[in-house]
Amino acid sequence: MKIAIGADHAGYRLKDVIIPFIESLGHQVTDYGCSCADSVDYPDYALQVCQQVVSGDADKGILICGTGIGMSIAANKVPGIRCALVHDLFSAKATREHNDTNVLALGERVIGPGVAEEIVKIWLETEFSQGVRHQNRINKVQSIEDRFTVHP
Ligand code: RB5
């Protein structure tokens, strides 16, 4: 898969650990920054990564900030994005099976690199269940988004 990844100044260290790990799993990674501890704004990076996902240039996106919260909030503002903030293995699997999430958010200040790698591996390897009840719920989420999306 093609994976777009981005982080702010509180997440770039974990990003730099996660990138070679994802590559070692056989995926292609594009890094949208940032790459140092200078203070930046997480929505700028969330937007870049999510644009790659909704355009189809990336299959999935991964976003990292201090808590993962800001990144997940920003990502879920982008139409077509279903982003989950995940810090445990059960949720990593469940959010692919049930929510068909296309973006994963992580908090560098919350979990260590070992857990983050396991979460990323499970999230990338788990398929959507295709369950009718789950698809219906995703459709309902989409209909909420459609209701508030202004079309020019
Ligand atoms: C940066 O200090 C921090 O606020 C940010 O990385 C993130 O945790 C926001 O949700």
pLDDT digits (tens, 9 = 90+) for 8-60: 999 999 999 999 999 999 999 999 999 999 999 999 999 999 999 999 999 99
Q: Please give the pLDDT value at position 21.
A: 98
Report d(CA 72, CA 66) in Å as an integer: 11
Residue nearest to atom 5 of ligand 1 (CA): 66
Tokens standing for 68? 């993962």
Contact 106, 87 (CB under 8 A): yes
Q: Please give the pLDDT value at position 3.
A: 99
Among 27, 87, 98, 134, the active-site one is 98
Instruction: Specify the amino acid at residue 48.
Output: Q
Q: Is 88 annotated as a binding residue?
A: no
pTM above 0.75, yes or no: yes
Domains of the chain: which residue ranges? 2-148
Mean pLDDT over 49-74 rounds to: 98
pLDDT one-digit tens code per residue, 81-140: 999 999 999 999 999 999 999 999 999 999 999 999 999 999 999 999 999 999 999 999
> What's domain 2-148's superfamily in CATH?
Sugar-phosphate isomerase, RpiB/LacA/LacB (3.40.1400.10)
Q: Is 87 annotated as a binding residue?
A: no
Contacts of 136 (CB under 8 A, 6+ apart): none
pLDDT interval class at 150 (50, 70, 90): confident
Helix (H) or strand (E) holding 61: strand 60-65
Among 36, 65, 83, 151, the active-site one is 65
Report d(CA 56, CA 114) in Å as an integer: 29
Helix (H) or strand (E) holding 148: helix 132-148
